[in-house]
Structure 1
Amino acid sequence: MRIAFSRIQFWLPAILLLSVLSVTAQAQLNPRNVAWVVDGSAVQPPSEYTELHPADPERALLTYLGDRGYLGAVVDSVLEDADTGRIELYASAGCHYNVAGVTYTIIKEGEDDVHGKSADPGDLPGIIHEGAPFSAGLVNLERQNLGEFYTDLGYLLVSVRFKEPGFPRECETDLHFVIDTGNRVVISGQLFPTVERNNPEYLARIAALPDSAIADRRTLRQVRRNLQQSGLFERVDEPSLMLQDGRYYLVHDLRERRTNVLDLLLGYVPNPGGGGDVAGTGMLRVRNAVWDGSMLFLRYERMSPLVTRFQGEFQQRWMFGVPLSAGGSFRFIQQDSTYQLRNIRFETGYAIGGGLEVFGSVRREASSSNKGPLVPVKVLDGTAVFGGLGIRADTRDDILVPTAGLEFYLELETGLKRISDDRAPLYTDRLNYRQQELFGYLRPYFMPFHRQVLAPSVTGFLKISPEFTESDLYRTGGAMSVRGYREDQFMVSRLIWGDLEYRYLLDRTSYAFVFYTAGWYHRPGLIVEPDGGTGVTRRIQSGGFGFSYRTPVGQLRFSYAISAEDALSNGKVHFGFVADL
């Protein structure tokens, strides 16, 4: 037996069975030959009632009226034409009944009706209140509401029965529901029948289903979200339950992505005096590169004709059977022929659950500059060692095209910088000093209307240091950060900017968008500048549009962004392509 958890419905009878005496023949009657007259007005007999009682037209009529709250309705007369077989029923509806009170009996696991216990209506999410107009639809909604309430608690085999109403007072009726919860469903294991590229044992770990978990809706929703956030699947459907050898197993219906991803981005940045520069980024991500849960990440960027950047990273998730991760990365920046920056970082994290992870890091920075006589001094040779703590969360419902959830990142680092450059006495008396960095990012996703998604974001950075060179500054600007500006156009010590993006979904994997960005930054004076330099504080703003479109071979992206300082025809154009390999 297989139960689709997300599709469990309590298909409730639309009929309240009333005991009435039939005075018609038991032969099958043609519904077209039956006419109803209620309180002097003709009523077209609904087919669902005449078909349910084809041989008993009186019962069909009284059931129809009873379902609408006229429980005291009576058939006054029946006229039958022997030649044509046509039957006309005349009825008096009487008063419409209201609900006098509601009672509940709960039958727990292993009990019967005799041992069922009365429940306080305040302990149940009932929707029927005293004085409400009675109808079969109201009863059906109450049964469905109670059934879903117990299903959410793991009682997937619950049944809710409605006992025939009584008539305590004129035009009022008492309602009574019997809730047989059945046994709570305990999950014995997980099955991944559609998986080919990934190890099912590893998928069971990242699903993070507790041992002997109860199959309540909250648990299964979290399991599905954990699989969605792994980035391994294009689609993660609601899981179903399968009964096998007396045990329940959670069955996942998944559509896998290819394990490797190639991401290319090409941009054209016009120059104010004419012409322009081409910037590009290439990224390769290889999953399960060494072990299950491992990832190799390589990225190369050409920011301007003479500026390049490279990043390599390796990460391993779910180590030793627990949600522990560890990894290392190396980043390299070559700033034309002026200087070079190298950054080595090690990180370990622990996933708390619900898409939340805490982590700690250690990193070492090194800077070296060209000491040629004609080369301007922008950095001094030196090293810095930082230790950091942070927290990140990812609750997006989809990695590529999210419509709900959020991304969050916050990290605080503190470290010690040592200057080893023999030119340092020309610019500063400090050769050792402490620095602190704080970086934060938040992006929620909302879907206020069908096919429409709002994706605002806010990013902030703060660096505290008694002195600065270019190697100490945070670089931002370009297609992956503040759109509308050149790649790494700003080098700052303080920054906050927000982005409001509106997306219109063309389908579940494609969308068009417009955005507006506004922010503020501060660039401090540098010790290698004359007289220690002069700080610059200014506002930034930009806007643009674009699209992301899914093709058979990958995701195609386009954006046109322009800053407030540029003419409309002088915007930055970027084309991107993401392919699963």
Structure 2
Amino acid sequence: MASLLFFIAGGQLCKAQGAYWLKWTTDPPLQSADWTTFINKIEAERYLDSLEHSLQHLGYLSLFSQEEDVSSDSLSVTIILGENYTWQEISLGNVPEEFSNNIDPITAEYNSASRWMHEVVSMAENKGFPFAQVKLDSIQRHGNLLSAVFNYDSGPLILWDSVKVAGDTKTQERYLQNVTGIQPGTPFSQKQLNEANQVLSRSPYFVQTQFPQVDFQVQKAQPTFTLRDRNTNVLDGIIGLLPNQNEPGKMLITGQLDLELYHLGGKGRDLALHWKRLNIATQSLEISAKESFVFNSPLDVSLGFSLLKQDSTFLNRYLSLDFGYHMSQTSYLRFFTKRQSSDLLDTEAFDEVTELPEVADYRWNQYGIGWALDRRDSPFFTRRGFLITSEFALGNKRILENTGFPPEVYDNLDLNSPQYLGKLEVEKHIYLRPTWGMWLKGSGAFTQNENLLLNDLFRLGGLKSIRGFNENYFFAKSYGYINMEQRLFFGENSFLMVFADFGIVENPYFATSIDKPISFGAGINLDTGSGIFRFIYGVGKSNLQPLQFSYSRIHFGYLARF
């Protein structure tokens, strides 16, 4: 009985999988296909229609089919091609010269006219004529040679109307006009609408819930974008209590606070505050604010302040002003100025030095340019694409005379000298399978000055650079490192991963100035719906840290988004 049921089920399965068979060939035998299975007869006939249409585009205008029913579920077809027609001459007729000059000339092949007409209509759609048409007129045949005249009808000129915003979003219409480039009174462009759809799909502030709709009325085109705001704002904090070694009996408050507010007022206005204090003497503070499309121009303005107190050694402060320009939907240019100040906190150890030590007081006014190219498919749930960011800055650094140093330290020392730096980052996402992807990132930077100080150097190490080490573990005059991750996805933004980081770091104040840190480990990135939890376990090796599991590091955090 079980065997009987098995064969009945197998027969039904085979019948469902091979419902209709088709075999075809052309006469003359230019193309053919052996028996191919389709879901049903309707699908097979659709395939035949498509095949005949493609052959007609090759110039076989008089083709016809001879069909032979082999059985109730099988069909053999012979397509009689007939004569092949080509173009002898096509007059441009009334097609505007601005179109004909920008399209490749028509060749003798029959489908070249179809291609040419399609390109004319496409160009017209991008110049304010979405209803333009091109037809062939006065067609004449001389044997298998054809001649005709193009007849162009532009239709009415259509101008953009104001952008309309729909959906659960606080986004302002004016912001959407600026970010898409669609301005009222300018000619309609299908290409511009398609590019707007792409740039909005990459927005960090919202998602599109449906394809943009266009309403045509009285020579006006009003686009409607239906959006839903993302949960992009971040509030994250950790508070710790430790015994205060400097004041016995009292407690020391340590911790970390991350506050990021995005798209305030629906205008692309961003604010961020980051504070960190992990021990009694070291803490950092970063504050930034950004205003997008100032006065409805493609110009952004950003202000930033940063403070780093490195134990009892020095205090660094940065004040920056950025001007960003949207060159295109994916390219962004920055011009910035920054004032960097550094002051020593304790000079007792330098009472008897005879030359400038590794740390000193200075002021550095720098001016720079930066550029970014973002071709990622999504800012948060990236699967494919790449991101390139770069910057270069130069300016004059002035070393201040500290009364805690012996005066002879500054003898024959050029207190004013030029200093410059450069940075480059390249990030690549590779989506191999629905559950498997790779993330690669390469970063490098350098800074140069004849009086380069320890408190001038870059800081790196930790979760956002070389993992398996403490945050800001390395001082670097120049550096380069590569991050590599293999990701196994089990959700839109949830994945398991293994990683390896390789770097090279130059620090002129260490005995061995060149360090080549490496690290590896594994972790998880978990999207909880209301935030992102990340846990990474890594172990690293450098000149100052052996490759031992007792030196392993755990990087974890939770970003609550609202």
Scaled by the length of structure 1, the TM-score of the pair is 0.68
Structure 1 spans left out of the alignment, 5+ residues: 1-37, 53-60, 78-90, 133-137, 267-278, 526-532
Q: 1:346 to 1:122 in 2, by over 3 A?
A: closer
Q: Structure 1: which amino acid aligns with 2:339?
A: R
Partner residue of 2:393 out of 409, 412, 418: 412
Q: Distance in 2 between matches of 1:428 and 1:339?
A: 19
**2:521 is the counterpart of 1:544:** yes
Q: Kindly provide the CA deviation profile for residues 525-581 of structure 1, in whole angstroms up to 9, marking residues without a partner as x.
A: 3xxxxxxx7461122222333343322212222323332442367532222222322
Q: Kindly provide the CA deviation profile for residues 511-533 of structure 1, in whole angstroms up to 9, marking residues without a partner as x.
A: 444433222121113xxxxxxx7
Q: Contact (CA 8 Å) 2:126, 2:192: kept in 1 or not?
A: no
**2:193 is the counterpart of 1:220:** yes
Q: Distance in 2 between matches of 1:67 and 1:361?
A: 60
Q: 1:491 to 1:237 in 2, by over 3 A?
A: farther
Q: Which residue of 1 aligns with 2:456?
A: 472
Higher relative contact order (CA 8 A, sep 6+): 1
Q: Which residue of 2 aligns with 1:192?
A: 165
Q: Which residue of 2 aligns with 1:439?
A: 422
1:361 positional shift: 0.8
Q: Distance in 2 between matches of 1:326 and 1:44?
A: 61
Q: Kindly provide the CA deviation profile for residues 165-212 of structure 1, in whole angstroms up to 9, marking residues without a partner as x.
A: 99865xx68698978664464322211112532332233233333454
Q: Kindly provide the CA deviation profile for residues 212-266 of structure 1, in whole angstroms up to 9, marking residues without a partner as x.
A: 4444354234434554565211447643322234410122122212463225699
Q: Contact (CA 8 Å) 2:165, 2:225: kept in 1 or not?
A: yes
**2:552 is the counterpart of 1:567:** no
- Give the number of equivalent residue pairs: 495
1:489 positional shift: 1.0
Q: Kindly provide the CA deviation profile for residues 7-56 of structure 1, in whole angstroms up to 9, marking residues without a partner as x.
A: xxxxxxxxxxxxxxxxxxxxxxxxxxxxxxx99xx99998559999xxxx
Q: Distance in 1 between matches of 2:505 and 2:208?
A: 40
1:486 positional shift: 1.7
After TM superposition, the structure 1 stretch with the greater mean CA deviation from structure 2, 231-240 or 253-262, is 231-240
Secondary structure at the aligned position of 1:283 is classed as: strand
**2:345 is the counterpart of 1:360:** no
Aligned-pair identity in percent equals: 17
Q: Distance in 2 between matches of 1:561 and 1:179?
A: 69
Q: Which residue of 1 aligns with 2:405?
A: 424
Q: Distance in 1 between matches of 2:438 and 2:128?
A: 34
Q: Distance in 1 between matches of 2:490 and 2:352?
A: 51
Q: Which residue of 2 aligns with 1:35?
A: none
Partner residue of 2:277 out of 302, 306, 311: 302
Q: Which residue of 2 aligns with 1:397?
A: 377
Q: Distance in 2 between matches of 1:571 and 1:421?
A: 40
Q: Distance in 1 between matches of 2:276 and 2:493?
A: 27
Q: Distance in 2 between matches of 1:505 and 1:443?
A: 23
**2:362 is the counterpart of 1:383:** yes
Q: 1:124 to 1:382 in 2, by over 3 A?
A: same
Partner residue of 1:517 out of 487, 497, 501: 501
After TM superposition, the structure 1 stretch with the greater mean CA deviation from structure 2, 373-382 or 408-417, is 373-382
Q: 1:153 to 1:401 in 2, by over 3 A?
A: farther
Q: Which residue of 1 aligns with 2:86?
A: 101
Q: Contact (CA 8 Å) 1:520, 1:537: kept in 2 or not?
A: yes
Q: Which residue of 2 aligns with 1:123?
A: 103
**2:441 is the counterpart of 1:457:** yes
Q: Kindly provide the CA deviation profile for residues 442-483 of structure 1, in whole angstroms up to 9, marking residues without a partner as x.
A: 224344544455443322222212234321111111101122
Q: How does 1:27-426 map to 2 (within 5 A)?
A: 48=42, 71=62, 73=64, 95-97=80-82, 99-102=84-87, 123=103, 130=109, 156-158=130-132, 182-183=154-155, 185-194=158-167, 196-227=169-200, 231-235=204-208, 238-258=211-231, 260-263=233-236, 281-287=256-262, 292-303=267-278, 306-354=281-329, 355-372=331-348, 380=359, 382-395=361-374, 396-402=376-382, 403-425=384-406
Q: Distance in 2 between matches of 1:116 and 1:471?
A: 65
Q: Contact (CA 8 Å) 1:344, 1:363: kept in 2 or not?
A: yes
Secondary structure at the aligned position of 1:123 is classed as: coil
Q: 1:125 to 1:49 in 2, by over 3 A?
A: farther
Q: Structure 1: which amino acid aligns with 2:179?
A: I
Q: Contact (CA 8 Å) 1:195, 1:256: kept in 2 or not?
A: yes
Q: Contact (CA 8 Å) 1:265, 1:574: kept in 2 or not?
A: no
Structure 2 spans left out of the alignment, 5+ residues: 1-25, 28-34, 69-75, 240-253
Q: Contact (CA 8 Å) 1:338, 1:375: kept in 2 or not?
A: no
Secondary structure at the aligned position of 1:194 is classed as: strand
Q: 1:67 to 1:467 in 2, by over 3 A?
A: closer
Q: 1:196 to 1:92 in 2, by over 3 A?
A: closer
Q: Kindly provide the CA deviation profile for residues 144-172 of structure 1, in whole angstroms up to 9, marking residues without a partner as x.
A: 88876765676543557789999865xx6
Secondary structure at the aligned position of 1:342 is classed as: strand
Q: Distance in 2 between matches of 1:178 and 1:488?
A: 69
